[in-house]
Amino acid sequence: MTVRDLYQEAILNDFYSLQLLIRFLVYEKKSVKLEDHHGRLEFFLQEKFQSKMNEYLIKYEVEND
C-alpha cells in the first residue's frame, strides 16, 4: 500500500489527523512522496516525535485552513 492509498482510505474513513499528517509530510516538508510505501510514515509516528509533530501539525492546519 502506498501513501496515496493510505491517504485515500483516510479520506473515505474521515481520519482527519492522518490526512493532515500526510499532507504536511508530502507538501510542506517534502519528506514523503505519495508513491512511497506507507511504512515510510512510521518514522514520523514515533513517540519521541509526537510532541513536536503535534506542534507542526497545529501550525500547518492554522496556516492552511
Q: Go through the chain and tell me how many residues it has.
A: 65
Which pLDDT value is given to residue 35? 98
State residue 15's pLDDT score: 98
pLDDT of residue 13: 98
Q: Give the C-alpha separation, 51 to 6, whole Å.
A: 23
- DSSP 3-state of 13: coil
Contact between 10 and 22 under an 8 Å Cβ cutoff? The reply is yes
Hey, what's the torsion of the CAs at 43, 58, 28, 51, to 10 degrees?
-30
Q: Cell for 11?
A: 479520506
pLDDT value at residue 17: 95
Instruction: Give me the residue spans of the domains in the chain.
Output: 3-63
pLDDT tens digits, residue range 1-56?
999 999 999 999 999 999 999 999 999 999 999 999 999 999 999 999 999 999 99
Q: What is the pLDDT of residue 46?
A: 95
